[in-house]
Amino acid sequence: MSAALRSWFGIALWKRISGALIAGVVLGLLLGERAGAIVWIGELWIRLIRMMVLPLVLAMIVGGVAALGDPARLGRLGARTIGLLVAMTTFAICIGLALGTWLQPGEGMAILVDAQSKAAPARSIGEQLMAIVPVNPFQALAAGDTLSVIVFAMATGTGVLLIGEAARPVVVFAEAAAQAILRAVRLFMELAPLGVLALVAGAIGNHGLAVFVNLSLLAFGLAIGSLFQILVVQGALVRLLGGMRLGQYYRGILEAILVAFSTTSSAATLPVSLRVARERLGLPVPVVSAAMPLGASLARDGTGVYVGLLCTFSAQAFGIALGPADYLVLVVGAVLLSLGAAGVPSAALFMLSGVLSLIGIAEAQTAAVAAFILPFDRLLDMIRTVPNVTANLAVATAVARGDAASGEEDR
């Protein structure tokens, strides 16, 4: 490998992407609409990542559910943890939908492709919810039907969990497949600077700097929603169910917040979160060891706010008016998407078609949304990772008190 290549790959990926973003803005301003000639490079990069997302979701969910352990031993602790995490994610999605409806970040956005295509015929709420359950899971996988794949994966993982040791080969295969796909994704992510440069140049060349108005509203909504979730919703959980003073709690988790913001990874932050929970918050080791690894997989408050915002952003961009029934199916679909989001960069963005199809947005239109937002997603990812991590800590704090109370009753 030449010295130039070694120097290039020695630079942190986020710095290379940031530089490519700036270069893309300059190139788009210089070339104008002619910059559209290189957009295919970015779209090819997106297809490489999208190719890996659904197989990764299937493998990770099957392996993750099966890894919960013996259902007889999972007991109250696991059930309470999962229940609180799902409830928090649902609340976060509602916040995202509400902020998107208020801020209107997609208003006036004629997004890049297929904006004139007709929306799917209106369906009843029963038909929309029934569409989430696949008749043929292999057909759903081939068609890229995200929510159907998630439902199938959760059902399969539950079956593997109930069978126990006899299904161990399935768990081993799922875990190995997930690791192999993640390694391929890391390779594709090295192409991110080139893809980001092409996509940004095309967007700026076609729309000018006005695109930053809509993106700023989206980022502002995500920041406000994340702060509300951390300070109000999670704060109430810690104070009312965890019985801990909020000043003590927020001082204790500050280190985990900083690591989450800088790494944009809940998994990478988990060791810090475990230490913070034991040493700073004083949570009992059994609760920390059992609840927090589970929370690292299921705590998706930031993703929930983001998905809610993206749903309203997309509907506004393509002129779709949302009614009460649409909001309900979006909440159900977004919960499944958020909980099933794979551990790859911008996974929720690539999986969005499974939710948006419920309100009649075509896959080509969803791909246009992803291509528009993806170059700027690093900053948004930094914001939304923080409430994901703090949700895990808040739920662990609440579960610890409940576990202590249950132990006293048992005695």
In a domain, 5, yes or no: no
Q: How far apart are the first and last CA of the chain?
A: 65
Per-residue confidence (pLDDT) for residue 117, from 0 to 100: 47
Question: Range with the lowest mean pLDDT among 30-34, 178-182, 308-312, 338-342?
Answer: 338-342
For residue 102, report the phi and psi dihedrals to the nearest 5 degrees.
Answer: -80, -45
Rounded distance, CA 119 to CA 151, Å?
Answer: 25
Q: What is the pLDDT of residue 99?
A: 96
Residue 98 lies in a domain: yes
Could you tell me if 105 and 313 are in contact, meaning their C-beta atoms sit under 8 angstroms apart?
A: yes
Q: What are the residue ranges of helices labelled H in 299-376?
A: 301-317, 324-340, 347-350, 353-356, 363-373
Nearest partner of 56 among 144, 145, 178, judged by Cα:
178
For 143-159, how does the pLDDT look when each residue is reduced to its tens digit (9 = 90+)?
A: 777 778 878 888 888 88
Instruction: State yes or no: pLDDT of 319 exceeds 90.
Output: no
Which of 28-37, 171-180, 320-329, 372-381 is the least confident region?
Answer: 372-381
User: 112-116, 134-138, 212-216, 350-354: which range is least confident on average?
Assistant: 112-116
Per-residue model confidence as pLDDT tens digits over 376-404 = 787 788 889 899 999 999 999 998 876 55
Angle at 58 between CA 53 and CA 63, to 5 degrees: 125
Q: Which domain holds residue 383?
A: 13-410
**Packing angle between helix 285-298 and helix 377-410, nearest 10 degrees?**
140
The identity of residue 9, as a single letter, is: F
Q: What is the pLDDT of residues 8-64, one digit of tens each?
A: 777 877 788 888 888 888 998 888 888 888 888 888 887 887 788 778 778 877 876
Characterize 194-215 residue by residue with b for buried, 16 or more Cβ atoms within 10 angstroms of its Cβ, and e for exposed.
bbbbbbbbbbbbbbeeebeebb
With respect to residue 2, please indicate whether it lies within any of the assigned structural domains: no
Q: What are phi and psi of 228, to 5 degrees?
A: -60, -45
Whole-number pLDDT of residue 73: 46
| Angle at the Cα of 179 from the Cα atoms of 175 and 184, rounded to 5 degrees | 150
Is pLDDT at 116 greater than 50 in this prediction? Answer: no
Mean pLDDT, residues 206-231 taken together: 88
CA–CA dist 405, 402 (Å, integer): 5
Confidence of residue 218 (pLDDT cuts 50, 70, 90): very high
What was the pLDDT predicted at 217?
Answer: 92
Cα dihedral 118, 122, 126, 131, rounded to 10, equals -10
Asked whether residue 346 is assigned to any structural domain, the reply reads yes
Per-residue pLDDT band at 202 (split at 50, 70, 90): confident
Q: What CATH number has the domain bearing residue 257? A: 1.10.3860
Give the pLDDT confidence score for residue 114 in this predicted structure.
43
User: How many domains does the chain contain in total?
Assistant: 1
pLDDT at position 411, please? Answer: 45
In a domain, 135, yes or no: yes
Whether residue 106 contacts residue 313, with contact meaning beta carbons closer than 8 Å, is answered with yes
Measure the CA–CA gap between 79 and 88, rounded to whole angstroms: 14
The answer to the question of residue 27 being in a domain is yes
Residue 303 contacts residue 86 (beta carbons within 8 Å): no
Q: What are the DSSP E strand ranges found in 85-145?
A: none
